[in-house]
């Protein structure tokens, strides 16, 4: 229940207001005009949405890592209580078991932190382009001919 509460409270601070509360209609219109291009009439380009959403996506990088730390701490506390309850009569075994579980939690916490950081950077650092020169120099795309 504690972990569910941590995950439910994640980003609760960002749900209070609208994403566009700090933008005026003129700001949004300027962005729409800036990203006009090959799009369906009446529909703004996806670049417009990305440009408007990117500052808000960047705000979640620190809370995402904090959420990983909070879940790991909750798991650690849960393990300590379980080990004390199960191995009450065997203190040495309890100590060894607790050390093993804490090591496992730490390893998975580190791996999860890396995955979360990569996912956040994937969405905040995304750049759509069809420029073959850029893709060849900065991506894994090989020249076609």
Q: Tell me: the pLDDT tens digits for 19-47? A: 777 788 888 888 877 777 666 677 777 77
Mean pLDDT of the chain: 83
Q: Which residue's entry shows tokens 């996506």?
A: 57
pLDDT at residue number 130: 67
Q: Rounded to an integer, what distance in angstroms lies between the CA atom of residue 130 and that of residue 138? A: 12
Asked whether the CA dihedral 119, 7, 64, 46 is positive or negative, the reply is: positive
Alpha carbons 10 and 18: distance in angstroms, whole number:
17
95-127 confidence digits (pLDDT tens)? 999 999 999 999 999 999 999 998 888 877 766
What pLDDT does 72 receive?
96
Give this prediction's pTM: 0.70
Task: Give the pair of three-digit tokens for residue 42.
Answer: 């009446």
* Alpha-carbon separation of residue 20 from 24, 41, 115, 126 (angstroms): 8, 23, 29, 21
């Amino acid at each position: 229940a504690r972990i569910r509460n941590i995950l439910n409270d994640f980003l609760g601070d960002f749900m209070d207001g609208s994403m566009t509360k700090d933008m005026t209609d003129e700001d949004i219109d300027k962005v729409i005009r800036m990203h006009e291009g090959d799009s369906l009439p009446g529909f703004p380009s996806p670049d417009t949405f990305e440009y408007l959403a990117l500052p808000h996506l960047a705000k979640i990088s620190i809370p995402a890592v904090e959420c990983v730390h909070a879940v790991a701490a909750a798991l650690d506390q849960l393990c300590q209580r379980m080990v004390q309850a199960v191995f009450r009569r065997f203190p040495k075994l309890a100590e060894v078991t607790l050390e093993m579980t804490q090591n496992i939690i730490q390893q998975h916490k580190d791996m999860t932190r890396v995955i979360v950081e990569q996912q956040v950077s994937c969405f905040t650092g995304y750049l759509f382009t069809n420029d073959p020169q850029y893709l060849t120099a900065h991506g894994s795309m090989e020249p076609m001919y």
